[in-house]
Every structure is written in C-alpha cells, then in structure tokens.
Amino acid sequence: MGTKTEFVDKIVSREKDLLDDWMKEQLAAVTLRTDLLSEADLRRQSTELLSAFIESIRPGIPQDIKAPECQHLVGILRDITRMRLEQGFSVSEVATFVLSLKQPIFRVLYDKDTTASAEQLWHMGTYIDRLGLHCTELYQKGREGIIARQQQELLELSTPVVELWEGVVALPLIGTLDSARTQVVMESLLQKLVDTNATMAIIDITGVPTVDTSVAKHLIKTVTAARLMGADCLISGVRPAIALTIVHLGVDLSEITTKATLADALDVCLRRNGFAITRVDQK
C-alpha cells in the first residue's frame, strides 16, 4: 500500500539528473573508497540500484520492503552488500551508500516548484532508512555466516586422532572443550577405534588451557563412550596447575587413569597390550 503522488512521477522522470547528482555526492563524500571500488563500478552499481529503486516506488512508496514490488530492489541490495562485504567495506560504508540517496532525492523534490508535503517526505525518508537498515542486516548476516563457517573449520581442524601403536590411538586435544566440540571429538575418536580395531585410547589434554567442571564432565563422557566400545581410555598431559584445579573443584576423576605425560600413558598402554620397550645394549 503506497501513496501515489505526483512527486513520485517527478522522481521517475528525472532519473538521469538524480543519478548524476547522486554520483557527485558519493564522489565528494569522505566515505568514498576508491581503493576498494573503481568509479566505473560505483557508477554501475548506482545506476542499477537507482533504477530498481525507482521501479519499486512507481506504484507508490511501499510501506514495507517485503512488498512484491521491492523484491527486485532487495535482490540487488543483497548482491551489492555481499560484494562489498567481500571487498572489505565497513558496515557504515555499506549503509551510507544507500542512505546517501536521500539527499539527491530531497533536492529533486525541493527544487523550484515544491509539491511534496512534509508527510510525503517523511514517507520517502522512512523508506530509504528501511533500505539502509536492511543493508546493515544483510551485512551482519554475511559476517555471521563467515564466523559460523570458520567455527566449523576450526572444529574439524582441531580433532585429529592418531594411531600411536598397534591397538593404541591418541587424541591430542587443543583448546577448550564445549558440548559441540565434545560431540565431534567423541565421534571421531569412536570411529577411529572401529577403524583401527584399537583397545586403548589416550586423550592428551596438554593443549587444553583450563579444566573446569564442564570440561571434566565432557572428558568423562568421552571416556565412558570409549569404554562402551570396548576400549580403555587414559587421560594424559595433566599439567600441575590443572591437577590443582581439578582437586580444588572436587571433580572426581578417580575412575579414569590419568598420567602426567603422553609418554607415561603410552607406556601403560604398551604394557597392557603385552609390549615392552627395551634399550638395545651397545657396549
């Protein structure tokens, strides 16, 4: 639902002037980033956006940017925002690009024979504000998408399970354990147990900065799951500070064999599997 007025016609009829005015405005602005975007590209984007904008207000100024006549415009906004996000524009620069359209439009509405009422100007202003806000939202969503992707990558990067010896696998943990990560760690460890037919597993927590009650809970969970698959699970790499914290917190790890170093844990595993390491005598 929009208000069809003659000032809309005026904007429509003066698209060319508007574009020139807008371009001049943008090129003079302090937020101009010629290092990221060439003038030709800026002109192309501006032309595209302006024509879509004019198309959207042709039936009257839309009350809501979800209206069908805005879809084309919103699509273009999305593309431009995504492109600028990748190019390294800041969120305010992206929003300013849209909001800077306000001034040229107001100038068109206010030349010689003013016909626009305050109310109409207000409508136009809110509409452009909405578009600007939409841009910031898109930008933020894009950023969140990047963060989520990186988190996923980090998760996959940080959980390698290595085969230390025949029947012994080790999982060197780096970083804190939260429930999402525990899930991934557990899955990869258990899968490795199946693949290698291992009977012993070592979780090395040298790279875990702190062990609080929730991390301990997750460790116990992982050990229990490994036990259910028929593998004995040891924890190694308990640093002095961590040992103190565990005791102070009153976490009960008595059911789990813990060792100070990976070497000690491996030694236990080898013994249990009937191996022994001896030094070859070289007299």
Partner 1 sequence: MERIPILKMGNFLLVTIQMEMHDRLAMTLQDDLTERIVQTRARGVLIDISSLELVDSFIGRMLRDIAAVAMLLGAQTVVVGMKPAVAITLVELGLTLRGVRAALTVERGMEMLRASMPESLLASMKKTPRKA
Among residues 19, 128, 161, 193, the one that binds partner 1 under rule CB under 8 A: 193
Instruction: Pick the piece of the chain touching partner 1 (CB under 8 A) from 14-22, 89-97, 132-140, 196-204.
Output: 196-204
Residue 215 touches partner 1, criterion: CB under 8 A:
no
**Residue 214 contacts partner 1 per CB under 8 A:** no
Q: Are 147 and 249 in contact (CB under 8 A)?
A: no
| Residue 196 neighbours by CB under 8 Å, 6+ apart | 163, 167, 169
Q: Which helix (H) or strand (E) holds 258?
A: strand 257-258
Does position 187 interact with partner 1 (CB under 8 A)? The reply is yes
Closest approach of partner 1 to the CB of residue 190, in Å: 3
Q: Considering the rule CB under 8 A, would residue 201 count as an interface residue with partner 1?
A: no
Q: Which residue's CB is nearer to partner 1, number 75 or number 230? A: 230
Which residue from 147, 151, 224, 252 is in contact with partner 1, where contact means CB under 8 A? 224
Residue 234 interacting with partner 1 (CB under 8 A) = no
Categorise residue 91: left if φ over 0, alpha if ψ from -120 to 50, beta otherwise: alpha
CB atoms within 10 A of CB 72: 14
Residue 90: helix, strand or coil by DSSP? coil
Query: CA angle at residue 163 from 159 to 168, to 5 degrees?
Result: 115
Q: Of 231, 234, 246, 265, which one interacts with partner 1 (CB under 8 A)?
A: 231
Closer Cβ to partner 1, 131 or 223, answer by number: 223
In whole angstroms, what is the distance from residue 61 CA to residue 11 CA? 12
The residue range among 67-75, 153-161, 190-198, 239-247 that interacts with partner 1, by the rule CB under 8 A, is 190-198
Residue among 121 and 229 whose Cβ is closer to partner 1: 229
Q: How far apart are CA 7 and CA 103, in angstroms?
A: 15
Q: What's the farthest any 2 CA atoms get from each other in the chain?
A: 109
Closer to partner 1 by Cβ: residue 105 or 231: 231
Binding residues vs partner 1 (CB under 8 A)? 183, 186-187, 190-191, 193-194, 197-199, 221, 224-231
